């Protein structure tokens, strides 16, 4: 799975968790809905500026967007051992320092 697919899934998750339909979210935060839809489905790559705008609108950090849906399937096999070692510590840090749900 690519980073953009992970990002799109996370954006969709948090948008729905906050109770926004895609249309309402795009209208409220002045984001082009067709483009936003393609971001959520992994067909388009948003700019860093737009990623930050989306995170701010969802009242979460950019880090949370990228970390939320990351799984072992997203990690290159050569890096999987390190990921498995670091994931629990990273989750704990995100919870304790940033108050991020993992």
At 44, the pLDDT band (50, 70, 90 cuts) reads very high
Cβ atoms within 10 Å of 58's Cβ, excluding its own: 20
pTM of the model: 0.77
Q: How far apart are CA 82 and CA 25, in angstroms?
A: 37
Q: What is the pLDDT of residue 32?
A: 96
Tell me which of 1-5, 28-32, 42-46 is least confident.
Answer: 1-5
pLDDT of residue 4: 58
Its domain, for residue 28, covers 3-98
In sequence order, which residues have a C-beta less than 8 Å from that of residue 21 and are 6 or more positions away?
none
Measure the N-to-C terminal CA separation of the chain; round to a whole number of Å: 19
* 44 vs 91: CA distance, rounded Å: 28
Which position has the higher pLDDT, 33 or 70?
A: 33
Stretch (H or E) spanning 25: helix 22-28
Task: Please count the structural domains in the chain.
Answer: 1
- What CATH number does the domain containing 42 carry? 1.10.260.40
Q: What does the pLDDT average to over 62-75?
A: 85
């Amino acid at each position: 799975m690519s980073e953009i697919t992970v990002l799109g899934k996370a954006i969709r998750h948090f948008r729905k968790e906050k109770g926004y339909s895609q249309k309402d979210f795009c209208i409220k935060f002045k984001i082009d809905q067709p483009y936003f839809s393609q971001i959520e489905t992994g067909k388009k790559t948003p700019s860093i500026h737009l990623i930050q705008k989306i995170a701010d609108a969802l009242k979460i950090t950019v880090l949370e967007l990228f970390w939320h849906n990351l799984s072992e399937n997203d990690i290159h096999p050569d890096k999987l051992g390190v990921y498995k070692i670091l994931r629990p510590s990273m989750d704990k840090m995100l919870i304790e320092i940033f108050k991020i749900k993992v």
